[in-house]
Amino acid sequence: MDDTQRFAYGLKFENAFLRERGKAFETLFARIMAHAFPGDFQPVRPYGPKGDLKCDGFRASDGTVFQCYAPDAMKLEPILAKVDEDFAGALVHWTTKMLRWEFVHNDSRGLPAEAVKKLAALNAANPNVALAVCGEAELRLIAMSLALHQLEDLFGAVPSGRVLEKLDFEALRPVLLAIQRQEPDAEPSLVAPSAAKLERNALSQDAAGLLRQGRRREQLVEAFFAGWPDPDLGEEIAQAFRVRYQALKAVGLSPDDIFGELQAFAGGMTGEPARQGAVLAVLSYFFERCDIFEDAIRIDAI
């Protein structure tokens, strides 16, 4: 797996982690764990009147009972109640089988202090059962340790550095023309983007890395516009990006959310890797050539 694929899968994991809720999040977690611990991790589903016996997954090798919690909005009192209820239920239903209990959640900010204190208190009161927490960082570490074919199964194919190098005009044309045809929506040489601009916009390592990889095809995008019969095409597309960016910024989306929406605007990161590579090349090209994200602050202008 090369850097382009690694950044792309990192971003796909982040998007899935933040997007999925409830049962969908449990399914995402179970699929990642099944790939990471084949023959060891067992997903558990509700069955009959007893439900899932307060367990969303069990890892036999270390006796871990996993419990997922991914509501639409995290609130302190429901978190505390969930921890109390599910841990107590797991103690009853799994008795000697449970050596570890892991609380899996979807809050990228981490758990509130009171929830951390609650888990510590439960751990102290139950010394025979180790307690652990799995959030975005922990699950990302597991997911990104998977082999390329496993990540493809989870998130689909993504472009590689080799795919970017092989891009041609035929891959760029439908992407650029599709952007040109879009109506503004009121809703929401190998030169890398400058470090200052990336830092100012607070893009994640994966989003920034993808932009750097996409700029490897800067000359191809420039040559496309230079050879296109309509000399205004480049400016029309730049303006479309400007309008889209300002609309997304106005509704208060995070930098990575805006990046994802602009990817979708340019055609999305789905389908054939060559098409995804073309979307990435176009988005990267306009990152520094129009008002997509904020310009780096010039020291001489301060």
Q: Do the domain assignments include residue 270?
A: yes
Residue 193 pLDDT: 46
Q: Are residues 109 and 13 in the same domain?
A: yes
Q: Are residues 112 and 171 in the same domain?
A: no
Q: Do the domain assignments include residue 55?
A: yes
Q: Are residues 182 and 109 in the same domain?
A: no
Check: CB of residue 53 under 8 Å from CB of residue 97.
no
Q: Are residues 179 and 285 in the same domain?
A: yes
Q: Do the domain assignments include residue 132?
A: yes
Residue 219 pLDDT: 82
Q: Are residues 227 and 130 in the same domain?
A: no
Residue 61 pLDDT: 95
- Specify the number of domains making up the chain: 2
Residue 50 pLDDT: 57
Evaluate the CA torsion angle 185, 209, 33, 94 in order and state its sign. negative
Q: Are residues 97 and 225 in the same domain?
A: no
Q: Are residues 163 and 98 in the same domain?
A: no
Token pair, residue 286, equals: 């306009």
Block means of pLDDT (10 residues each) for the chain, 302 residues, are 93 90 94 96 75 86 95 89 93 89 92 93 94 95 97 94 87 79 48 49 80 83 86 85 84 81 82 87 79 48 34
Q: Are residues 209 and 233 in the same domain?
A: yes
Q: Is 302 exposed, middle or buried (0-12, 13-18, 19+ CB in 10 A)?
A: exposed
Q: Are residues 163 and 127 in the same domain?
A: no
Q: Do the domain assignments include residue 111?
A: yes
Q: Do the domain assignments include residue 293?
A: yes
Cα angle for residues 129, 134, 139 (degrees, 5° grid): 135
Evaluate the CA torsion angle 177, 183, 187, 193 in order and state its sign. positive
Q: Do the domain assignments include residue 65?
A: yes
User: pTM here?
Assistant: 0.80
Output DSSP code: residue 159.
-
Q: Report how far residue 224's alpha carbon sits from residue 31's, in angstroms, rounded to the nearest whole number.
A: 41
Q: Are residues 86 and 179 in the same domain?
A: no
Residue 9 pLDDT: 95
Q: Do the domain assignments include residue 150?
A: no
Q: CA-CA distances (angstroms) from residue 186 to 53, 246, 250?
A: 47, 10, 10
Q: Are residues 186 and 136 in the same domain?
A: no
Structural domain harbouring 255: 159-301
Query: Please, which residues have CB within 8 angstroms of residue 273's CB and are 6 or more apart in sequence?
Result: 157, 158, 159, 160, 163
Q: Do the domain assignments include residue 149?
A: no
Q: Are residues 279 and 170 in the same domain?
A: yes
Residue 271 pLDDT: 82
Residue 31 pLDDT: 97
